[in-house]
Amino acid sequence: MDKIQDSLHLNYSVITENIEQGAKVLDLGCGSGELLKMLVDKKHCTGCGIDINQNNVIESIQKGLSVVQGDIDEGLKEFLDDEYDYVILNQTLQSTEKPDYVIEEMLRVGKKVVVSFPNFGYWRVRFYLFFKGRMPKSKMLPFSWYDTPNIHLLTIEDFSDFCKERNIKIKKSVYIKRGQISKNPFNRILTNFLCEEALFIIER
């Protein structure tokens, strides 16, 4: 579990580093509000979070954050176009019901969008399925096939294709390899093989 925590914290600091001081952010699937709190404390960001879980919402409110309980699959109808500098979807894309709709909504509401997800093209995941013949489990994907919230798993290549098809610009990509930021992502095919996690900053 510690590895997951480490990787989450790495994740948070990567996101925090890439967001400007005082930006207005919307954190979708904000969990207990750790990232949002970090953004408020370190970057003096304003904004709010959305999470579907009551306890997460309470914990976030207890951190002094403004959080709304809701289901991001229902869309962001109440939010205006370009209302936020950043809309963040951290480690949640693969568990949304309509990932394409959610991304479109994020691009509408945010000037920039931060998306991160576990890479299903990671070599360990591939080997797991190839050699064990069972749905891959790992520290980032700890669930069984029947109880996993991750219903739309994807690879780095999948996401790149998606952006291309929809004319979405990838402004920045960060790949995480064995808990570290991958220093020189050689080519994408290799990156897709070697990195367990990816983070993109995209815009339209």
Partner 1 sequence: MHKEVNSVGLTQTKYFTIEDKIVLESGVEFGPIQVAYETYGTLNDNKDNAILLLHALTGDAHAAGYHNEEDKKPGWWDDMVGPGKAFDTDKYFVISSNMLGGCSGTTGPCSINPQTGKPYGLDFPVITIEDAVKVQKKLVEFLGVKKLIVAGGSMGGMQALEWSIANADMVDAVIIIASTSRLTAQGIAFNAVGRNAILSDPNFNNGDYYDKEKQPEKGLAIARMVGHITYLCEESMHNKFGRRFQYSDKPNFDFNIDFQVESYLAHQGQVFVDRFDANSYLYITKAVDYFDLAQKHGSLKEAFSKTNARFLVMSFTSDWLFPTSQSKEIVQALIKAGRDVSFCEIESPCGHDAFLLEFETQTKIVKSFLAKGENNG
* Binding residues vs partner 1 (CB under 8 A): 48, 54, 57-58, 61-70, 77-80, 83
CB of 44 to partner 1, least distance (A): 13
C-beta closer to partner 1: residue 69 or 138: 69
**32's tokens:** 């207990």
| Of residues 69 and 94, the one with the C-beta less far from partner 1 | 69
* Residue 62 Cβ vs partner 1, minimum distance, rounded to whole Å: 4
DSSP state letters, 5-35: HHHHHHHHHHHHHTS-TT-EEEEET-TTSHH
Q: List the structure tokens of 14.
A: 């990567």
Taking the complex as a whole, how short is the minimal distance between the CB of residue 46 and partner 1, in angstroms? Answer: 9
With beta carbons less than 8 A apart as the criterion, state whether 146 and 119 touch: no
Question: Smaller CB distance to partner 1: residue 49 or 99?
Answer: 49
151 by Cβ neighbours in 10 Å (0-12 / 13-18 / 19+) ranks as: exposed
Which residue's CB is nearer to partner 1, number 61 or number 181? 61
CB atoms closer than 10 angstroms to residue 174: 21
**Least distance (Å) from partner 1 to the CB of residue 164?**
32
